[in-house]
Amino acid sequence: MGGLFGVASREDCVKEVFFGTDYHSHLGTVRGGMAVKNREGISKSIHDITNTQFRTKFEDDLAGLHGNTGIGVISDFDDQPLIIGSHLGIYGIATVGAVQNAASLAEKAFGAKTAHFSEMMGSEINPTELIAVLINDESGFVEGIRSAQQAVEGSCSMLLLTDAGIYAARDRLGRTPLILGKRDGAVAATSESCALPNLGFEIAHSLGPGEIVLLTPDGFETMNPPGDRMQICSFLWVYYGYPASSYEGINVEVVRNRCGAALARRDDVDVDLVAGIPDSGTAHALGYANQAKRPYRRPFVKYTPTWPRSFMPQDQGIRDLVARMKLIPIRDLIEGRRLLFCEDSIVRGTQLRGTIKLLKKYGAKAIHMRPACPPLIHGCKFLNFSRSRSELELAGRKAIQEMGADFASSKAAFADPDSPEYAEMVERIRGRLDLTSLQYQRLPDLVEAIGLPKEKLCTFCFDGAS
């Protein structure tokens, strides 16, 4: 999904940008970058971080970077931040989101016969450069950001590094968060609030949907007010977000505990222990175990020093290898036991199937799975959840295809946990994974666990609502 971090300070801010950006590395993407501004101009550094830590790649660059304002980004696929020269001046830009209509926006830009794109990724246009082209069509940064956000189908939050300071802008419907922190002589903008405390910042403001704020060392000023409608991604709390972060004032770890408790309240299965699929399943499992009054144990230990996140590589075989190698089983907690696992979600199910085979090899007596969210039956249109996936790769859609059902005419039934179509879909997923039982979270329970009204949440991947 990607993440942003920026600082405007009275003093050199390079270390803050470095560490603040690193606190977004869990988002599991493949590019990292930093840009800082000083009297001589803007300097940047970009590296591939697919198979290494952000800090390792950027430590050697720090000595050559100096400035009082700077931005950093963990990027989905494209190189950024970019340095742009235009009639607005020279500025740096970093973005997070997904521009689904990039091709049509580029075609429109070409129609003016003045636009060109130099940051190509093969035959694909760098989406951050495309956003900069849209901004440059207007007479000022605020007008340009607002125009770009209105033009994008999908989402786009951004930081702009300019002579006036840093412009921080949350996407039009607030699908991704952007939070401001303040300390004496400095202001920070971040996608993850967990980046703030250890750098000495206190949370000062959460940007609303479409809000544009200008950051300077002396404070921040709203340049465009927030809109009325919000559709923040509910999956942030289920999976993407870091446990120490809060969005809209609601902590991720607390929500995951509540999700697990909600699963337990609807369950009566008899098990010997409750466990989480590491890492994001852990907090869900703790909530389940506490509610169900069952012991929480770790039949798997995750080996993280050398293995990257398993969904990062685009090749499915490599993803499966990473998933298998980084989870080390403990036979003493598996053999002869009835196990219940909480997982954040079942997306494709390929990695989970391998995990279940391993548990059976080690003598598990029963394996029950409790995902913390409903079945995913729609591919995300608003964020870069995974570039390689088609909807038919989703475990739910595979099951529906096997049933021979017409998804277009019956998708509401497959989102209804009380319908026979839903029951058959879940049973087919259970059978394919070779689970003893499979019971998903109900959407109203997930919404209640998050604590926001459903109309303020994006639940499109679960029920198609947008």
The neighbouring-strand residues paired with 121 are 124
> Which tens digits make up the pLDDT trace of 400-439?
999 999 999 999 999 999 999 999 999 999 999 999 999 9
- What 3-state DSSP class applies to 118? coil
The pLDDT tens digits of the residues spanning 373-398 come to 999 999 999 987 655 457 889 999 99
* pLDDT, position 318: 61
Count CA atoms closer than 13 A to 386's CA, side-chain side. 20
pLDDT surpasses 50 at 311: no
Torsion of CA 327, 328, 332, 337, to 10 degrees: 20
H or E stretch at 247: strand 246-247
Per DSSP, 67 falls in state -
Q: Considering only the top CATH level, what class is 3-229?
A: alpha beta
Instruction: Tell me which amino acid residue 172 is.
Output: R
Query: Which run of H or E residues covers position 17?
Result: helix 14-22
Query: Is the peptide bond prior to 12 cis by the omega test (within 30 degrees of 0)?
Result: no
- Residues 173 and 267: their CA atoms lie apart, in Å, by 35
| Under 8 Å between Cβ of 215 and 187 | yes
One-letter amino acid at 210 equals G
Name which of 259-273, 309-323, 433-447 the model is least confident about.
Answer: 309-323
Alpha helices in 122-229 (DSSP H): 127-136, 141-151
pLDDT at 313 (0 to 100): 47
Q: Are 306 and 322 spatial neighbours (Cβ–Cβ below 8 Å)? A: no
The pLDDT tens digits of the residues spanning 359-377 come to: 999 999 999 999 999 999 9
* DSSP 8-state assignment for residue 68: S
Residue type, 158: M
Q: Tell me, what's the pLDDT at 119?
A: 63
User: 147 CB contacts (<8 Å, ≥6 apart)?
Assistant: 134, 135, 137, 138
Report the pLDDT value the prediction gives residue 118, as an integer from 0 to 100. 66
Helix (H) or strand (E) holding 46: strand 41-48
Q: How many helices and strands in the chain, by DSSP H and E?
A: 15, 23
316 pLDDT more than 60 = no
Give burial (CB, 10 Å; 0-12/13-18/19+) of 38: middle
Q: Are strands 338-343 and 273-276 parallel, antiparallel or unpaired?
A: parallel
Question: pLDDT category, 49, cuts 50, 70, 90?
Answer: confident
Pick the CATH number of 250-463 from 3.40.50.1170, 3.40.50.2020, 3.40.50.970, 3.65.10.10: 3.40.50.2020
At residue 113, the pLDDT reads 56
- Predicted structure pTM score: 0.93
Res 322 pLDDT > 70: no
Pairing mode of beta strands 250-251, 179-183: unpaired
Look at 364 and 57; give whichever has higher pLDDT. 364
Domain parsing of the chain, residue ranges: 3-229, 250-463
More confident position, 53 or 387: 53
Residue found under tokens 């909807």: 391
The single residue listed with the structure tokens 């750098």 is 199
Residues 6+ apart with CB under 8 A from 231: 173, 174, 175, 209, 382, 456, 457, 458, 466
Please report the pLDDT score of residue 344 as a whole number.
96
Interval 142-162 mean pLDDT: 97
Residue pair 291/264 in contact by the 8 Å Cβ criterion: yes
Q: What confidence score (pLDDT) does residue 74 get?
A: 95
Per residue in 96-146, pLDDT tens? Answer: 999 999 889 888 877 665 666 666 565 678 899 999 999 999 999 999 999
Return d(Cα 179, Cα 241) in angstroms, integer.
14
Nearest in space to 191 (alpha carbons), one of 282, 313, 97, 277: 97
Q: What is the mean pLDDT of the chain?
A: 92
* The pLDDT value given to residue 386: 55
Amino acid found at 30: V
